[in-house]
Amino acid sequence: MTEMLCGYTDRDETIVAFLYDELDAGRRRDFNAHLLTCTVCRDEVAGLRGVRTQLARWEPPSVISRQSSVASHSRQSWWRTIPAWAQVAAALLFFGVSAGVANLEIRYDQNGVSIRTGWSNGSRGPGGPGASDRSGVSSEVRSAKVGQGLNTAVGPAADAPWRSDLAALEQQLKAELRAAQTGAGAAQTVRAASSSDAETLRRVRVMLDESEKRQQRELALRVAEVVRDVNAQRQVDLRNIDHTLGIVRNDLGVEVMKQRQSLNLLYRASQRQ
Amino acid sequence: MSIEAVSRPSPHMTWTDEELVAKSIRGDAESFNELVLRWERPIYALAYRTIGREEDARDVCQETFLRAFRALPGFRGQAKFSSWLYRIALNLCRDWIRRERRTPVVQPPEDVDLLELAAASEPSESIEDLVARQDLSRVVERAMALLPEEQRTAIVLKEFHGLTFQEIADLVGCPLSTIKTRLYQGLTVLRRELAKNPTTKGTML
């Protein structure tokens, strides 16, 4: 321990101020010059610097607040507390209802996923539309294809069955017109009737076109909604899986640490013996 | 009130303490929250190093902010907000020491919680290094517990909170030279005590 063998003025206060760099430039220069000649002060300054080094290692307990984790759990959204199976069931139910509303028909073949909507035409025979049932216009007016990666591009297929139904209707109307032309009516009347039927046919086509466009819009909207909800559910499930994996990793880490700690203690105990 | 280092982004983060104080006085609770987030860790550390008990240090920290909140309308900016907060915390620490009529208690090593120990470790630190670091910390803690309250407070404020001699003198209400003397005496006792311990002996001159 340092013995008091130095008579430097205000020695203790000067050493402390020197240690914490609170000496003005002039006094600092003086004391530095003194240190070159005084081993007592030099040793003491070095010793007190060592104390400061040790003090830097004094850490308050690391407070990893359990309150914060409790608070973060309590802040979780209500839906995070619903079991995963219930969330999946809800998503499927929503998808089913959406499909029902849109009267969706979903097929999966080599061309990818195909979704078709519209009023169903259950009476269509194996011979194709119009082969056996000519009583009405096919109401299956449009189809949409959803490619891989949930691509929601929507558009009428080239072989849509409603086109053949429409062609059959056109042929039927023409046949009736021809029959009327060969009948007993006046030529003038026949020309007038022909003109009127052509106008009717044009109107039917316009109405069908408008109906098709409206349904395309509705289907695009519903498919987008379904895709969005499925994606949202997927994100939730991924987060849940991440969270669970994190807990498992933490548990494993703690177990490993406990074992290492035990081994260390055993090793130290064996060293002492 | 949780005691944790929080680093969340907030629009209040760029404002000075004094601006946040002014907004708090006008009734902006979010500004006071930001002050708490900013200062709870230093205040907790000050309380812990002064009284040496984790739970009581938390209580002191909470009480400090509670008193600060109540007294905020009377704060006129005569001193820095941090100095004002330190003064409240130090007064509470003194009250605690007088009430308990004992020197700070160093918690026994058996209290070490593996979970907290693991949480305190650096990513690249081995368990052996971590235990050694904790041992060193406890040795220093025990040596500090031997100091009289005045010397301990001066060392804590200087060493861990970076206050100037003058700031400490203003805070505890005594002359500048007294603070320097307390520091010198406290450091000298620590030097002697740390030299006795095999864990720290090698690094002491």
Distance from CA of A223 to the nearest CA of B (A): 38
H/E element, A146: strand A142-146
pLDDT tens-place string over residues A119-146: 444 444 444 444 334 443 333 434 444 4
Measure the CA dihedral A31/B187/B87/B108, to 10°. Answer: 160
Which of A41, A58, A66, A249 is best to mutate for the B interface (most B CBs within 10 A)?
Answer: A58
CB contact under 8 A, B177 and A57: no
The position carrying tokens 């505890």 is B172
CB contact under 8 A, A47 and B205: yes
Is residue A177 within 8 Å of residue A194, measured between CB atoms? yes
CB contact under 8 A, B4 and A1: no
Q: Does the pLDDT of residue A79 top 50, yes or no?
A: no
CA-based radius of gyration for chain B: 18
For residues A64-91, average pLDDT: 44
pLDDT of residue A210: 79
A53 vs B49, B158, B203: nearest CB: B203
Provide, as residue numbers in chain B, all residues whose Cβ is less than 8 Å from the Cβ of A42: none
Provide, as residue numbers in chain A, all residues whose Cβ is less than 8 Å from the Cβ of B160: 55
**Residue B127 burial (CB < 10 Å; 0-12/13-18/19+)?**
middle
Distance from CA of B145 to the nearest CA of A (A): 12
pLDDT of residue A266: 81
Tens-of-pLDDT digits for all 205 residues of chain B?
Answer: 443 444 445 666 788 898 899 889 888 888 999 999 999 999 999 999 998 888 899 999 999 999 999 998 888 777 889 999 999 999 999 999 888 765 555 554 444 454 455 555 555 556 667 777 777 888 898 899 999 999 999 999 999 999 999 999 999 999 999 999 999 999 999 999 999 887 766 666 5
CB contact under 8 A, B140 and A57: yes
Provide, as residue numbers in chain B, all residues whose Cβ is less than 8 Å from the Cβ of A260: 127
What integer best gives the mean pLDDT of chain A? 67
Which of B4, B33, B182 is best to mutate for the A interface (most A CBs within 10 A)?
Answer: B4
Percentage of residues in chain A with pLDDT exceeding 90?
A: 16
Lowest mean pLDDT among A50-59, A175-184, A244-253, B148-157: A175-184
Which of B184, B196, B203 is best to mutate for the A interface (most A CBs within 10 A)?
Answer: B184
pLDDT of residue A120: 45
Highest mean pLDDT among A113-127, A152-166, A256-270: A256-270
Provide, as residue numbers in chain B, all residues whose Cβ is less than 8 Å from the Cβ of A6: none
CB contact under 8 A, B184 and A71: no
Amino acid at A246: G
Distance from CA of A68 to the nearest CA of B (A): 7
Is residue A223 within 8 Å of residue A154, measured between CB atoms? yes
CB contact under 8 A, A62 and B116: yes
Provide, as residue numbers in chain B, all residues whose Cβ is less than 8 Å from the Cβ of A59: 120, 133, 137
Distance from CA of A57 to the nearest CA of B (A): 5
Pairs of residues, one from chain A and one from chain B, whose beta carbons lie less than 8 Å apart: 115
pLDDT tens-place string over residues B151-167: 999 999 999 999 999 99
What is the three-class DSSP state of B83?
helix
> What is the phi/psi pair of residue A113, to 5°?
-85, 130
pLDDT of residue B126: 62
DSSP annotation string for A173-191: HHHHHHHHHTSSS-HHHHH
Which of B155, B182, B187 is best to mutate for the A interface (most A CBs within 10 A)?
Answer: B187
Is residue B48 within 8 Å of residue B57, measured between CB atoms? yes
DSSP annotation string for A75-122: TS-GGGGS-HHHHHHHHHHHHHHHHHHHT-EEEEETTEEEEEESS--T
A264 vs B4, B128, B159: nearest CB: B128
Please state, in angstroms and rounded to a whole number, the distance separating the CA atoms of residues A9 and B2.
49
CB contact under 8 A, B181 and A253: no
CB contact under 8 A, A16 and B183: yes
